[in-house]
Structure 1
């Protein structure tokens, strides 16, 4: 059940994201207004990059979802993150343009479909999610130093030090030791 505080908090966050998320706030000087909003509302560190039309939201009145992002991260243009189930991203990680992240799912039976199921996601340090990648609920974790190729649909855990791609996702290669950390 949605509480008044959830409705107010989420409503204001979405309203201001629509305002400061536009391309106008990508201009020099105005960009800092955007960053300040995301810093105050979501605790995003000062050294992170926030593109335009970035949407961070919780769905279905799930007020327990938390959002945490490490230092030196990038949320590029048109990134959408549902943090209903909980979202954590380590340092020096990037979600490239058009990446979509889901952290909740639903039962398949019609009688239970109204009850969302939280599925927390942890993205480790030094992860790069390529343009248009989709990270579905149930992924749980993406390991350190991993690369998600553009357009990949991630449905399960990703080990550390790998490059994955495709739909369905598969391991393309292991990272050479010189590229790890």
Structure 2
């Protein structure tokens, strides 16, 4: 069963609903986590100098983390194909919902959604710019206002103390 495409900018909640996965179901949460782990592994393989666009390669002093728009489309497409080929039977069942033809070429919007989110939320520049003080990432202000955060976010005896570790929204824990 193929589902209609969902924009990569849609939230995790919208993605799970579209995929007919339930965040309250431990098995569905595990499948989602496995999908994001597979995307994270592909991101690591993809983030090498040879896969950067010519413009990014010519940027003096450029260092990781690289954003997805710095990676050539051919490398991203190869990652989509690799994720699908190397996926577990459980995640492949979910990926199959996102298969589509783009002209004569096969593609997969589910895998691209996962990759986009792995790039987006592993890039500290995006986190610091777009979530500062939003209650999603740790700051001294606003921690007590967070009612929708995962339990690990509120961990510790003093919720106003600054965190020294980074929050990983893909795995929903601090690292």
- Could you state the TM-score of these two structures normalised by the residue count of structure 1? 0.26
Higher strand fraction: Structure 1 or Structure 2?
A: 1
